[in-house]
Structure 1
Amino acid sequence: MGKAAACLRGVTALLFATVLCPSVRADEAPPVSPDKPAAAYVTPSRVSATIEFSIPTLARDIERDVPRRLATFDERVQCVHRRVLFFRVRANCDIEGYVERTGPISLYGRGDALIGSTPIFGAVSGQGANRFTRRIHGNAEAGVSVEAEARPMLRHDWSLDLRLSDSYHWTEPPVLHVLGRDIQLARYVEPRIREQLARVRVRAAEAVRRLDLHDKAATVWRHAFTPIELADNPPVWLQLTPQSAAFAGVRADRRVLWGVMQIEGNAATSVGVAPAPVAATPLPALGRDIEAPGKFEVILPVNIGYDFLSQKIKEVAAAELKGKLTLEDVKIYPSNGKLIVGLKIAKSTETAPDAGTWYYLSATPKIDPDTQTLQLPDLATLAAKTQALAQESGNADLIDRLRQAKILYQEAYQRLLAAANKSLTRPLKDGFRMEGHLDSATLDHIALLQNGLSIALRASGDLKILYGL
Structure 2
Amino acid sequence: MRHGSFAAPKQAQFFRWGLGALSVLALAACSGRGDRANAPVRVHDGIALPAEASIISVPIEADLTSLAKGLDHAVPTTLWTIDKRVARCIPPQRVKIFGARVKVLPAIPCALSGVVTRGPITLRGSGTDIVAEIPVNAHVTARDAGAKLKGETADGAATVAAHITLDFAKDWSPTGKVRLQYGWTTPPGIDVLGQRITFADKADEKLRPLLGKLQRELPAQLRKLNLRAQAERAWRSAFTSISLNDDHPPVWMRITPQQVFYGGYRIEEGELHLDAAVDGNTETFIGQRPPNPQAPALPDLVKGTPGNEVRLSIPVAADYDQLEPVLQRALSKRSARPFLLPGIGPVMAQFGQVTAYGTTERRIAVGIDVVATPTSSPSSRIQGHIWLTARPINQPGSAQVTFTDLQIQGHADRLGGDLLIALGNSPGITSLIATSLEQNLTKDLTGLIAKVRAAIAERRQGDFLIRARIDRVQTGILQAAGNGVYLPVRAIGRVQIVYRPTRT
- Which TM bucket (shorter chain)? 0.7 to 0.9
Distance 1:392 1:464 in 2: 57
Aligned to 1:126: 142
Structure 2 residue 133 is the aligned partner of structure 1 residue 117: yes
Distance 1:448 1:380 in 2: 14
CA gap of 1:400–1:281, structure 2 versus 1, over 3 A, is closer
Using the TM superposition, give the Cα deviation of residue 214 of structure 1 relative to its aligned residue in structure 2, in angstroms: 0.3
Using the TM superposition, give the Cα deviation of residue 47 of structure 1 relative to its aligned residue in structure 2, in angstroms: 1.4
Distance 1:392 1:293 in 2: 57
What SS does the corresponding residue of 1:308 show, helix, strand or coil?
A: helix
Structure 2 residue 55 is the aligned partner of structure 1 residue 46: yes
Q: Is the 8 A contact 2:177 2:215 kept in 1?
A: no
What is the count of residue pairs matched by the alignment?
432
Distance 1:108 1:317 in 2: 76
- Which of 206, 217, 223 is equivalent to 1:192? 206
CA gap of 1:319–1:48, structure 2 versus 1, over 3 A, is farther
- Which of 384, 390, 397 is equivalent to 1:362? 390
Aligned to 2:451: 418
Using the TM superposition, give the Cα deviation of residue 367 of structure 1 relative to its aligned residue in structure 2, in angstroms: 6.8
Deviation digits for residues 204-256 of structure 1, max 9, x if unmatched? Answer: 55444222110111111112223456555556554322211110221233344
Q: Is the 8 A contact 2:401 2:440 kept in 1?
A: yes
What SS does the corresponding residue of 2:404 show, helix, strand or coil?
A: coil
Moved more, 115-124 or 316-325: 316-325
What SS does the corresponding residue of 2:337 show, helix, strand or coil?
A: coil
Using the TM superposition, give the Cα deviation of residue 127 of structure 1 relative to its aligned residue in structure 2, in angstroms: 2.5
Q: Is the 8 A contact 1:27 1:382 kept in 2?
A: no
Amino acid at match of 1:159: S
Using the TM superposition, give the Cα deviation of residue 466 of structure 1 relative to its aligned residue in structure 2, in angstroms: 0.7
Aligned to 2:492: 460
Aligned to 1:175: 189
- Aligned pairs for 1:198-209 (under 5 A) are 198-200=212-214, 205-209=219-223
CA gap of 1:393–1:380, structure 2 versus 1, over 3 A, is closer
Structure 2 residue 374 is the aligned partner of structure 1 residue 382: no
Amino acid at match of 2:495: L
Distance 1:148 1:250 in 2: 18
- TM-score normalised according to structure 2 size: 0.70
Amino acid at match of 2:362: K
- Which of 391, 395, 398 is equivalent to 2:432? 398
Using the TM superposition, give the Cα deviation of residue 460 of structure 1 relative to its aligned residue in structure 2, in angstroms: 1.9
Using the TM superposition, give the Cα deviation of residue 461 of structure 1 relative to its aligned residue in structure 2, in angstroms: 1.7
Two-structure CA RMSD over aligned residues (Å)? 4.3
Structure 2, gaps ≥5 residues long: 1-35, 94-101, 339-348, 375-381, 411-417
Aligned to 1:338: 362
What SS does the corresponding residue of 1:333 show, helix, strand or coil?
A: strand
Distance 1:453 1:389 in 2: 26
Q: Is the 8 A contact 1:29 1:360 kept in 2?
A: no
Amino acid at match of 2:156: A
What SS does the corresponding residue of 1:65 show, helix, strand or coil?
A: helix
Structure 2 residue 40 is the aligned partner of structure 1 residue 30: yes
Using the TM superposition, give the Cα deviation of residue 457 of structure 1 relative to its aligned residue in structure 2, in angstroms: 2.2
Q: Is the 8 A contact 2:319 2:485 kept in 1?
A: yes
CA gap of 1:391–1:227, structure 2 versus 1, over 3 A, is closer
- Which of 289, 309, 316 is equivalent to 2:304? 289
Deviation digits for residues 288-340 of structure 1, max 9, x if unmatched? Answer: 221x6321222224443211233444456656665245553433222223332
- Which of 266, 274, 278 is equivalent to 1:259? 274
- TM-score normalised according to structure 1 size: 0.74
Moved more, 301-310 or 261-270: 301-310
Deviation digits for residues 38-64 of structure 1, max 9, x if unmatched? Answer: 3x5212111111122345x45763575
Q: Is the 8 A contact 2:170 2:300 kept in 1?
A: yes
Distance 1:301 1:280 in 2: 28
Q: Is the 8 A contact 2:263 2:275 kept in 1?
A: yes
Structure 1, gaps ≥5 residues long: 1-25
Q: Is the 8 A contact 1:326 1:346 kept in 2?
A: yes
Aligned to 1:61: 69
Q: Is the 8 A contact 1:136 1:178 kept in 2?
A: no
- Same amino acid, percent of matched pairs: 22
CA gap of 1:392–1:115, structure 2 versus 1, over 3 A, is same
Q: Is the 8 A contact 1:447 1:455 kept in 2?
A: yes
Aligned to 1:407: 440
What SS does the corresponding residue of 1:176 show, helix, strand or coil?
A: strand
Distance 2:271 2:336 in 1: 71
Distance 1:440 1:328 in 2: 44
CA gap of 1:135–1:272, structure 2 versus 1, over 3 A, is closer
CA gap of 1:32–1:468, structure 2 versus 1, over 3 A, is closer
Using the TM superposition, give the Cα deviation of residue 80 of structure 1 relative to its aligned residue in structure 2, in angstroms: 1.5
Amino acid at match of 1:398: L
Distance 1:251 1:208 in 2: 15
Aligned to 1:328: 352
Amino acid at match of 1:241: T
Distance 2:68 2:475 in 1: 52
What SS does the corresponding residue of 1:287 show, helix, strand or coil?
A: strand
What SS does the corresponding residue of 1:364 show, helix, strand or coil?
A: strand
CA gap of 1:228–1:53, structure 2 versus 1, over 3 A, is same
What SS does the corresponding residue of 1:157 show, helix, strand or coil?
A: coil
What SS does the corresponding residue of 2:277 show, helix, strand or coil?
A: strand
CA gap of 1:388–1:459, structure 2 versus 1, over 3 A, is closer
Structure 2 residue 174 is the aligned partner of structure 1 residue 157: no
CA gap of 1:425–1:95, structure 2 versus 1, over 3 A, is same
Aligned to 1:219: 233
Using the TM superposition, give the Cα deviation of residue 259 of structure 1 relative to its aligned residue in structure 2, in angstroms: 1.4
Using the TM superposition, give the Cα deviation of residue 283 of structure 1 relative to its aligned residue in structure 2, in angstroms: 0.4
